[in-house]
Amino acid sequence: MIRVGLIVNPIAGMGGSVGLKGTDGEAYKKAVELGAKPVSSIRVRDVFSLIRRKDILFFVAPGIMGEDYVKGTGFKYEIVGHVGEKTSAEDTKRIAKEMMEEKIDLLIFVGGDGTARDIADSIDLRIPVLAVPSGVKMFSSVFTLSPHAAANIIDSFNKETPLTEREVMDIDEDAFRENRLAARLYSYLRVPRIEPLLQASKEASSVGKSEEAQKREIADYIVENMENDFVYFLGPGTTVKAIADRIGVEKTLLGIDAVYNGRLIGKDLNEKGLLKIIDTYGKAEIIITPIGGNGFIFGRGSKQFTPKVLEKIGKENIIVVGTKAKVLKLECLRVDTGDADVDRMLSGPVKVVAGYKEEVIMEVRA
């Protein structure tokens, strides 16, 4: 029997049909006035109709946040927490924490980027999640592709299922409504890594080892090749964190840190801090990993690397790292720094360090 939590954001996705690009804050009221219909309930019912296994004990949020969809499906369930007449992001956060106390093995949530941020605030990397897409904005790479894919993952999930971290993005909704895309890496959630059914085949796979082992390999290779008297700016993400772990310094998971001769010389740096270090030390290299799914290296996950910083560093001093499980699935790497000249400078073929003594040559596109 596996213990699975379920939290549904009942208003996620309602802005889309009425052209609102999200239902954060006041936009929800407007969506309802414009006649928006609930989307999440359809999504979650689709998922339930496709689950084949029966050995699940559900822990569900009350009413329209969970209970309503599991009722009558034949699954055993317990209700967690309380909600008032109107539900809010605070309910999601509080109930997610309460579910953790119930020792759930997996938390299913239905919503968009906003819901993903609320869940990340409460549980960060402690419990694996299954994110069912229902929002308008889904720039985070935690989401499954569809209810069908979600049901497949639920059917095959167990306590030994390998997990991997995926990015949760924070999009500024007000800017987004004005057709500007202002995004930053907000946090990480851990999701089940379920590969397509392994087929009987003589064909060797290029992916091979587990993602964690690949990260360690990358870290070993990078650290062995680090030069003395050189500053390295370590970008966000768990692949780069593995490099910091290997050096033995603490890493700001979502921020940029600087190391010099194995010592930490700057933590969670912004543009000003980065420029100051470049001025002081003269030369620096950036170590960066692409965001899974969309392949962005600059312009989405690490806004602190501004066009000014990137110009000073130069393309030749950028080291891109990424596990094969991540980079071989990308069509290309992407940049969107907001400065067309810098984007052009960064474009073209680049080597990605993908393992120990292992590189993948990929195209960077603006």
Partner 1 sequence: MIRLDLNENPYSPPKEVIDEAKKGLSEVRRYCDPKYLEELRNLIEEYTKIPKDKIVVSPGSDIILREVIHEFSIDRKVIAVNPSFFPALECAKRHARKLVRFQLTPPEFRLNSEVLMQEIRDPSLIIIDNPNNPTGVEVLDRDLIIKILENTNSLLLVDEAYYEFSLKTSSGLINDFDNLAITRTLDKGFSLAGLRVGYLLAGEKFREGLSDFITFLPRPSVYAAITALKNRDYMRENVEKIIRERKRLMNELKELGIEAFPSSTNFILIRSDVVGLSGRLRSKGIAIKDLSREWIPGYYRISIGLPEENDLLLKSLKELLNKES
Name the site residues for partner 1 (rule: CB under 8 A).
145-146, 148-149, 152, 195-199, 201-208, 327-332, 349, 351, 354-363
Nearer to partner 1, 208 or 248 (CB): 208
Nearer to partner 1, 206 or 228 (CB): 206
The CB-of-187 to partner 1 minimum distance in angstroms stands at 24
The CB-of-343 to partner 1 minimum distance in angstroms stands at 19
Inter-axis angle of helices 40-50 and 147-156, nearest 10: 40
Non-local CB neighbours of 155 within 8 Å, separated by 6+ positions: 51, 52, 53
Contact in structure between 163 and 193 (CB atoms under 8 Å): yes
The CB-of-346 to partner 1 minimum distance in angstroms stands at 16
* Alpha carbon distance 128, 158 (integer Å): 11
Nearer to partner 1, 168 or 362 (CB): 362
Nearer to partner 1, 260 or 356 (CB): 356
Helix (H) or strand (E) holding 266: strand 263-266
* Alpha carbon distance 351, 297 (integer Å): 13
DSSP 18-79: TT-S--STTHHHHHHHTT----HHHHHHHHHHH-----EEEEE-SGGGTHHHHTTSS-EEEE
Number of H helices, E strands in the chain: 14, 16
Please tell me the total number of residues recorded for the chain in this structure.
Answer: 366
The CB-of-284 to partner 1 minimum distance in angstroms stands at 25
Nearer to partner 1, 205 or 280 (CB): 205
Residue 97: both structure tokens together: 């924490």
The CB-of-79 to partner 1 minimum distance in angstroms stands at 31
Other Cβ atoms less than 10 A from the Cβ of 273: the count is 17
Contact in structure between 307 and 342 (CB atoms under 8 Å): yes
Nearer to partner 1, 100 or 149 (CB): 149
The CB-of-28 to partner 1 minimum distance in angstroms stands at 29
Nearer to partner 1, 180 or 202 (CB): 202
Does the CA dihedral 238-240-244-247 come out positive or negative?
positive
Nearer to partner 1, 194 or 275 (CB): 194
Nearer to partner 1, 171 or 362 (CB): 362
**Which residue in the block uniquely carries the two structure tokens 């049901």?**
151
* Alpha carbon distance 31, 365 (integer Å): 36
Residue type, 119: I
| Beta-bridge partners for 318 | 286
The CB-of-316 to partner 1 minimum distance in angstroms stands at 13
The CB-of-256 to partner 1 minimum distance in angstroms stands at 26
- The three-class DSSP label of residue 189 is strand
Residue 190: both structure tokens together: 């851990």
Residue 130: both structure tokens together: 């299954």
The CB-of-13 to partner 1 minimum distance in angstroms stands at 18
